[in-house]
């Protein structure tokens, strides 16, 4: 692939010397094992990369709390990146289950405590809701029963909601309360590579994960801290901006750059009150953020930075 990239670049502009952006793109191709089928696709991906690169440089120049850089999405079109954001507002109001706000720790991270599975990549499918649903169920099972299962996102994607066209974690949990979810080993994820929802192949006798009760949470920072102190909570965020998509490290704290048009489901797995941020896990692989994790600032007026305070929900497992 590197040889192909060099050959193509050599044809662009005749004897033109490689500039900084050309070299950055070549390194990007090698680092992310990119493979383009034609010169036309190569040119399109280079154009996408160049636009993303300019936005990254802008974000890093106008604020210092978060660091932005390239990841596996850098050469995607805006339409391809938008397709990742598969959260759909189709929930009904849930009964509130108040959590005690007395004596909660100043910092919590359920993943470093061993209550989360490894970061995954939803790939070319708007199944973020399925990954948020499964990850929250897995952590709840570990916290309640001491074992950490791995549930099947494909079971949700193919059998519930609108698959790669979007869904909602509360609807997924309602499905899992009536249809225990299979393990990932029995029902592996395929939609990320195909971009296709797939036909439901669910076998109820193989189901191992059943939701008992859905939990609501208040939308203030204090309420969310109290809730997340007890378990991870699925949340929604506005993820269509390059500001969110190019995040590498630090704290996302610019509400205007992120927006509040929530379209993506992730999981809030902890918080740090002293440093004023939520800890979240995404489903875009380990090239996004801090190896798949991110920090989003607390303290903004509702709905919070990137809209994170809008819809926190969790569950208990049977």
Mean pLDDT of 70-87: 92
* Same domain flag for 150 and 221: yes
Residue 311 falls inside a structural domain: yes
Q: What is the pTM of this model?
A: 0.92
Give 247-286 pLDDT, tens digit per residue.
999 999 999 999 889 999 999 999 999 999 999 999 999 9
Give 174-210 pLDDT, tens digit per residue.
999 999 999 999 999 999 999 999 999 999 999 999 9
Residue 295 falls inside a structural domain: yes
Q: Is residue 93 very low, low, confident or very high in pLDDT (cuts 50, 70, 90)? A: very low
Look at residue 135 in the predicted model and tell me its pLDDT: 98
Look at residue 15 in the predicted model and tell me its pLDDT: 38
* Same domain flag for 64 and 98: no
Instruction: Just list the catalytic residues.
Output: 128, 264, 282
Mean pLDDT of 234-249: 97
Q: What total number of domains does the chain contain?
A: 2
Q: Give the distance, in angstroms, between the CA of residue 195 and the centroid of all CA atoms in the same chain.
A: 17
Look at residue 95 in the predicted model and tell me its pLDDT: 45
Give the residue from 209, 213, 211, 259 showing the smallest Cα distance to 236.
259
Look at residue 5 in the predicted model and tell me its pLDDT: 53
Give 149-165 pLDDT, tens digit per residue.
999 999 999 999 889 99
Neighbour-count burial of 167, counting CB atoms closer than 10 A to its CB (0-12 exposed, 13-18 middle, 19+ buried): buried
Q: Which of 18, 40, 68 is the last residue of a domain?
A: 68
Domain that holds residue 42: 2-68
């Amino acid at each position: 692939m590197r040889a192909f990239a060099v050959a193509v670049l050599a044809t662009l502009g005749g004897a033109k010397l490689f500039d900084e952006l050309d070299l950055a793109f070549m390194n990007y191709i090698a680092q992310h094992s990119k493979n383009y089928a034609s010169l036309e696709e190569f040119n399109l991906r280079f154009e996408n990369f160049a636009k993303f690169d300019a936005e990254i440089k802008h974000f890093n120049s106008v604020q210092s709390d978060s660091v932005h850089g390239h990841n596996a999405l850098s050469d995607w079109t805006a339409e391809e990146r938008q397709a990742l954001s598969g959260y759909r507002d189709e929930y009904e109001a849930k009964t509130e289950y108040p959590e005690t706000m007395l004596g909660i720790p100043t910092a919590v991270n359920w993943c470093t405590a061993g209550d989360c599975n490894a970061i995954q990549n939803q790939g070319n499918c708007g199944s973020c809701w399925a990954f948020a649903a499964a990850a929250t169920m897995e952590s709840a099972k570990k916290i309640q029963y001491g074992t950490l299962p791995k549930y099947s996102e494909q079971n949700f994607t193919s059998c519930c909601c609108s698959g790669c066209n979007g869904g909602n974690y509360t609807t997924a949990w309602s499905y899992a309360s009536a249809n225990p979810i299979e393990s990932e080993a029995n029902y592996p994820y395929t939609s990320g590579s195909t971009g296709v929802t797939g036909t439901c192949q669910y076998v109820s006798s193989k189901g191992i994960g059943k939701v008992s009760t859905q939990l609501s949470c208040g939308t203030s920072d204090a309420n969310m801290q109290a809730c997340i102190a007890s378990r991870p909570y699925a949340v929604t965020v506005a993820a269509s901006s390059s500001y969110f998509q190019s995040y590498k490290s630090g704290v996302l704290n610019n509400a205007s750059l992120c927006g509040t048009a929530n379209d993506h489901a992730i999981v809030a797995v902890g918080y740090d009150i002293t440093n004023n941020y939520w800890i979240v896990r995404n489903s875009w692989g380990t090239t996004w953020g801090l190896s798949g994790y991110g920090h989003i600032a607390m303290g903004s007026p509702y709905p919070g930075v990137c809209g994170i305070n809008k819809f926190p929900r969790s569950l208990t497992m049977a």
